[in-house]
Amino acid sequence: MEQNDSGILTLFAFDEEKAFNQMFERYYSALCVMAGVYTGNEAIAEDIVQQVFIGFWEKKCHHRVDSSLQGYLQSSVRNACINFLRKEKLIKKSQANLLISTEADEVFNFLLAKEEQLILEKAINELPVQCRKAFELVYFEELKYKDAAKNMDLSVNTIKTHLKNALRLLKTNSKLKFYYQVK
């Protein structure tokens, strides 16, 4: 026999499980529809309503209901939906901020790398011609000293000297020191 709100609340004093089952059968579907309107998602709505019922059972909320069981459950579901939507909004906002932050970091890092590259290229171009050519052949074209020497028609020791001078000049370049903390 199905009871009205006051009958269900009275039944809680004698048989909590039976009262809970009647309450569940009477209100579950309608509360899911209501939660669905708030959330726009049937599965989430059902989860929220189930959590409200679980909380009602665990916290013995039937002691708190003064007048309308239906009103109490509707308020509980509405509040749970609002809390869920607030959390979702915060999560989405955090994700958006993270995405914006990540994109800004990527742009900043790209610009910084580009600036570093330009400064390095300028510093290399300021090297004496033979030092620069030896440096480019060994470090950019990845030739062995012997092959670089052959290419420049110089001895291997002269290539080594040019490289030593090029590295010393690059290490003492004030703009490169700023970026690479070369000592």
Local confidence band at 10 (pLDDT 50, 70, 90 cut-offs):
confident
Separation CA 35–CA 11 (nearest Å)? 27
Lowest mean pLDDT among 14-23, 27-36, 148-157: 14-23
Task: Give the pLDDT of residue 94.
Answer: 74
d(CA 51, CA 91): 20
Mean pLDDT across the stretch 65-75? Answer: 82
Checking 48-52 for CB contacts under 8 A at 24+ apart, the result is 48/77, 48/80, 48/81, 48/84, 49/77, 51/80, 52/76, 52/77, 52/80
CATH topology of domain 126-180: Arc Repressor Mutant, subunit A (1.10.10)
pLDDT of residue 78: 92
Q: Is 87 exposed, middle or buried (0-12, 13-18, 19+ CB in 10 A)?
A: exposed
User: What are the residue boundaries of the structural domains of the chain, listed by start?
Assistant: 5-94, 126-180
Q: What is the pTM of this model?
A: 0.50
51-55, 59-63, 129-133, 142-146, range with the lowest pLDDT: 59-63
Could you count the other beta carbons within 10 Å of the beta carbon of residue 94?
Answer: 10
When mean pLDDT is compared over 4-13, 33-42, 110-119, 164-173, the highest value belongs to 33-42
Q: What is the pLDDT of residue 182?
A: 42
Please give the mean pLDDT across all residues of the chain: 82
pLDDT band at 183 (very low <50, low <70, confident <90, very high): very low
* Mean pLDDT value of segment 167-182: 70
Q: What is the pLDDT of residue 1?
A: 46
DSSP string for residues in 12-28: HHH-HHHHHHHHHHHHH
**Res 2 pLDDT > 60:** no
3-state percent helix, strand, coil for the chain, nearest multiple of 5: 85, 0, 15
Q: Which fold has domain 5-94?
A: Rna Polymerase Sigma Factor; Chain: A (1.10.1740)
Q: Does residue 181 have a pLDDT over 90?
A: no
